[in-house]
Amino acid sequence: VPDPATETGMLASGVEPLRDRKLDHLELARRPDVLHRNDTGLDGVHLRHRALPGRSLESVETAVAVLGARLSAPLALSSMTGGVEDARTINCRLADAAARFGIAFGLGSGRRLLEDPTLLPTYYDPDRAERPPLVFANLGASQVRGADGPARAEQLVAMLRADALFVHLNPLQEAIQPEGEVNFDGVLEGIAAIVERLAPLPVGVKEVGFGLAPEDIELLCGVGVAAIDVAGSGGTNWALLEGRRHPAARDAAQAFADWGLPTVVALRRARPAAAGRATLIGSGGLRNGVDAAKCLALGAQAAAFARPALLASQEDRLDEWLAAVVRQLRIATWLTGARSVRDLDESAVDALALPQPWSEDGG
């Protein structure tokens, strides 16, 4: 396995070199003990059940426009991988499925691709015949800082011919990684510069499973970010996952087993901050199409899945899994009496019990 010094080499502190990080992530993400100890809050959201939905199931409209693209359903496969050989098959399957189902497809961090353009096939073939309607490139916080950020972003988007760029903010993951990059000075300014350079191409920002606070969403919308993916807690926990990679990180990681804003709370808080300014995406611990419908009812314009899509891809059952997700979304929408997924809103929420620590202030 290649061991690029920038990602996995001997650390100045003398900590032993780590195995290839991206490869570790693909293996470790399968483990059940890398999930948050708390849940997303989605089990506390109950959509209204109408026994007289008033129309045929098949007439329910699932198509939406997101970031200038027409999607057959308001769904995305979240940014995950690229840069290691094992990512090639996974990304190829994810791209195929996203194209077939007409949904958005996120690539993993493009850092390695920028360092070594020969890794392109482990990400995505921009000349592929079947193109997903919306392809997101992805860069981390440390890659957007500094004077070179806009040029890096421009180069990455061009290499992948991506339709949008998502920047991931993952301070907790970086803090737990022995080789993590924990200087977040200038990240907001870096994002602002990239927004300006890539315009009119949309730039989004996502967390990786701890949620985005409304104060941060305000700042991000203030610099022109076009999409916010809350990536709340309740699903994959990147502190626990990094803690699994290295004994030195394990003890620190355990204390963050339930850190962050559960997806439902993150969405409720994000909604007023993003309203009319940025496309809101609900993700973090979503399991199925009913969870996606709940996110839409809570104000998201699309819902995204990472770990469940990875597992389905690794087991080569993405089509079956996605068909079920779309079906569940259609049925749930129909049962609320809505004509279209676009009509799902708070009126479709019949009961809402927020996770206990947030219930008192209304989430």
* Positions that interact with ligand FMN (CB under 6 A): 25-26, 29, 78-81, 108-109, 138, 168, 206, 208-209, 231, 235-236, 283-286, 305-307, 310
Q: Which is nearer to ligand FMN, 29 or 341 (CB)?
A: 29
Q: Which is nearer to ligand FMN, 137 or 221 (CB)?
A: 137
Q: How far is the CB of 304 from ligand FMN (least distance, A)?
A: 7
Q: How far is the CB of 360 from ligand FMN (least distance, A)?
A: 26
Q: How far is the CB of 362 from ligand FMN (least distance, A)?
A: 25
Q: Which two tokens stand for residue 47?
A: 């959509």
Q: Which is nearer to ligand FMN, 40 or 336 (CB)?
A: 40
Q: Which two tokens stand for residue 98?
A: 């996203």
Q: How far is the CB of 243 from ligand FMN (least distance, A)?
A: 15
Q: Which is nearer to ligand FMN, 249 or 310 (CB)?
A: 310
Q: Which is nearer to ligand FMN, 235 or 355 (CB)?
A: 235
Q: Which two tokens stand for residue 70?
A: 């027409």
**Measured torsion, CA atoms of residues 295, 259, 7, 111, in degrees rounded to the nearest 10:** 30
Q: Which is nearer to ligand FMN, 86 or 154 (CB)?
A: 86
Contact 286, 263 (CB under 8 A): yes
Residue whose C-beta lies closest to ligand FMN:
235
Q: Which two tokens stand for residue 210?
A: 């701890």
Q: How far is the CB of 55 from ligand FMN (least distance, A)?
A: 31
Q: Which is nearer to ligand FMN, 23 or 338 (CB)?
A: 23
Please state, in angstroms and rounded to a whole number, the distance separating the CA atoms of residues 175 and 177.
6
Q: Which is nearer to ligand FMN, 307 or 330 (CB)?
A: 307
Q: How far is the CB of 27 from ligand FMN (least distance, A)?
A: 9
Q: How far is the CB of 194 from ligand FMN (least distance, A)?
A: 15
3-class DSSP string for the chain:
CCCCHHHHCCCCCCCCCCCCHHHHHHHHCCCHHHECCCCCCHHHEEECCCCCCCCCHHHCECCEEECCEEECCCEEECCCCCCCHHHHHHHHHHHHHHHHHCCEEECCCCHHHHHCHHHHHHHCCCCCCCCCCEEEEEEEHHHHCCCCHHHHHHHHHHHHCCCEEEEECCHHHHHHCCCCCCCCCCHHHHHHHHHHHHCCCCEEEECCCCCCCHHHHHHHHHCCCCEEECCCECCECHHHHHHHHCHHHHHHHHCCCCCCCEHHHHHHHHHHHHCCCCEEEEECCCCCHHHHHHHHHCCCCEEEECHHHHHHHHCCCHHHHHHHHHHHHHHHHHHCCCCEHHHCCHHHEEEECCCHHHHCCCC
Q: Which is nearer to ligand FMN, 88 or 307 (CB)?
A: 307
Residues, the chain, total?
363
Q: Which is nearer to ligand FMN, 25 or 269 (CB)?
A: 25
Return the sign of the alpha-carbon dihedral for residues 186, 189, 191, 197: negative
